Structure 1
Amino acid sequence: MTASRIAPLALYQEVAERLRERIFSHELPPGTWVDEQALAEQYGISRTPLREALKVLASEGLVTLKPRRGCYVTEISERDLDEVFNVMALLEGECAKASAGRASDADLARLQSIHGDLEKAAEAQDIDRFFEANQAFHHALQEIADNRWLLHVIEDLRKVIKLSRHHSLYSEGRLEQSLAEHRTLLDALLARDADAAEQRMREHIRSGRSALARIAAARNRAA
């Protein structure tokens, strides 16, 4: 009985991951109607695992299921971003606070190593590399905090943020600003100052939101 259930479970998870990648790359941009029949034919599957995959993405906030209208890639508004970033600031601040209190010497050495990657990427003005190192730093903090529920919620919220059409690091001066924020955050962590680490992380997340707002404002002026 168990063996007969593994294949369909794996199938809809694989479909969900493929669609997730297409959404994050904006191959399926926000507001796009999801053509279930076309996708089923493209993937060579029935519509049953496809619909199960869409339910997974809907639970993550990446698509919206509308009665009698079908499924659409979620459009994220400026208000959505405000609300999500406020929650992210609280959650990631808590991670930084917990990490400052429980980090081992090896954990701190790992964070310093990742920060070194941030410094090198910033010096080279390599935004993609900086983004990857930034993600690694935040994820390392979440692992050190060792709260799987906190990690789960943060990961889901980051998926929603990826729906934004822009990336904060493309705002003029944001890469350098982000690096400076990481330096002060790392200093607090190395000093095992939990309150300072929490505050600096919250400021770091909210600065990212401000950078996105500047990009949106510039886009609107140009429109």
Structure 2
Amino acid sequence: MGEEHVQLEQILRLPTSSQQSLGDLVHEALSAAIIDGRLAPGERINDKAIAETLGISRTPVREAIQRLTLAGLLEVSASRYTRVTEVTEAMAASTLEYAVLQAGNALQLAVGRMSDSELEDAIALLDRVTEASEEDAVEELLQSSREFVVFIIRHAGSPDLVRVLRNENAVLERNLRQSPFDLGTPDQRRGPYRRMRMAMVTRDADAAEHWFRVQCRLLGAAGVGVAAAA
């Protein structure tokens, strides 16, 4: 148990001050550890050990585990184990398809609903994506793509969409990160980016959504990244 505590102390930490409930904080800590691989697929977790490591009762830990199980990040076998779920190639492909559909819907809504200043900000974010793509700067491309999608979702004018994607964000990001995707080349990416930008400038929502989907087929996970407004 001592070695387990040392490992958990390195993986899980709660903020010293927060207005969130303990259950929410534990949920966020476990989600982050699963997403970035500190808690690897197949790894078992123990609510008692987590509670003791964090210095809290088992109730908020069990609450967090229940939420993560419903989300598909954990699986529980009664009286046997609680462990991080594996991500298969089929799961990753299905998650990508779902995320692209939702983000594309958000873009279609946002292009028609954003104010002029918000649209300018969205186009500026897309320009950052395009610049990173031209330089073939992979990490910058991934990060700027995520920022663009988060902005679009936040400005889609659909609280229901934001709520759904926020609740699903952890499993979406984890599944997309677990499988490699071919990002293509700058030449392959250039045309769809330009067409998507023009569609946004002219507020052609259907065309913007179309070229977003085309781009995502080239970019894979980079096109949707963090698919929810955190």
Structures share fold, TM-score greater than 0.5 = yes
**Cα 1:129–1:157, aligned 2, differ >3 Å: closer, same or farther?**
same
1:201, distance to aligned residue in structure 2 (A): 2.1
User: 1:206 aligned to 201, 207, 217, which one?
Assistant: 217
Q: Does residue 108 in structure 1 map to residue 110 in structure 2?
A: no
Amino acid at match of 1:130: L
Q: Does residue 160 in structure 1 map to residue 171 in structure 2?
A: yes
Structure with the largest fraction of helix: 1
In structure 2, the residue corresponding to 1:76 is in which secondary structure? coil
1:56, distance to aligned residue in structure 2 (A): 2.0
Amino acid at match of 1:27: R
**Cα 1:103–1:8, aligned 2, differ >3 Å: closer, same or farther?**
closer
Amino acid at match of 2:198: D
Post-superposition CA distance 1:154-211 (Å, at most 9, x none) = 344442232242453xx36367655654333222111211211121222233334499
Where do 5+ consecutive residues of structure 2 fail to align? 1-17, 223-230
Q: Does residue 99 in structure 1 map to residue 84 in structure 2?
A: no
Amino acid at match of 2:147: A
Q: Does residue 59 in structure 1 map to residue 70 in structure 2?
A: yes
Post-superposition CA distance 1:118-144 (Å, at most 9, x none) = 244345544333222111111111122
Post-superposition CA distance 1:70-115 (Å, at most 9, x none) = 2211222222222222222322221121122222211121012212
User: 1:134 aligned to 145, 150, 167, which one?
Assistant: 145
Corresponding residue number in structure 1 for 2:54: 43
1:95/1:145 contact within 8 Å kept = yes
Tell me, in whole angstroms, the C-alpha distance in 2 between the residues paired with 1:140 and 1:210: 17
1:23, distance to aligned residue in structure 2 (A): 0.9
Tell me, in whole angstroms, the C-alpha distance in 1 between the residues paired with 2:112 and 2:95: 26
Corresponding residue number in structure 2 for 1:12: 23
Amino acid at match of 1:81: A
**Cα 1:180–1:21, aligned 2, differ >3 Å: closer, same or farther?**
farther
Corresponding residue number in structure 2 for 1:149: 160
Q: Percent of aligned positions with the same letter in both sequences? A: 28
**Cα 1:152–1:52, aligned 2, differ >3 Å: closer, same or farther?**
same
Corresponding pairs, count? 203
User: What TM-score does the superposition give when structure 1 sets the normalisation length?
Assistant: 0.77
Tell me, in whole angstroms, the C-alpha distance in 2 between the residues paired with 1:143 and 1:179: 26
Please, which moves more after superposition, 129-138 or 20-29?
Answer: 129-138
1:33/1:70 contact within 8 Å kept = yes
Post-superposition CA distance 1:26-80 (Å, at most 9, x none) = 0001121112232222212222211111112223322222223222112222222
**Cα 1:27–1:108, aligned 2, differ >3 Å: closer, same or farther?**
same
1:84/1:157 contact within 8 Å kept = no
2:106/2:156 contact within 8 Å kept = yes
Please, which moves more after superposition, 33-42 or 14-23?
Answer: 33-42
Tell me, in whole angstroms, the C-alpha distance in 1 between the residues paired with 2:215 and 2:116: 24
Amino acid at match of 1:91: Q
4+ long deviations beyond 4 Å:
174-180
User: What TM-score does the superposition give when structure 2 sets the normalisation length?
Assistant: 0.75
1:184/1:200 contact within 8 Å kept = yes
Tell me, in whole angstroms, the C-alpha distance in 1 between the residues paired with 2:195 and 2:100: 16
Where do 5+ consecutive residues of structure 1 fail to align? 1-6, 212-223
In structure 2, the residue corresponding to 1:39 is in which secondary structure? helix
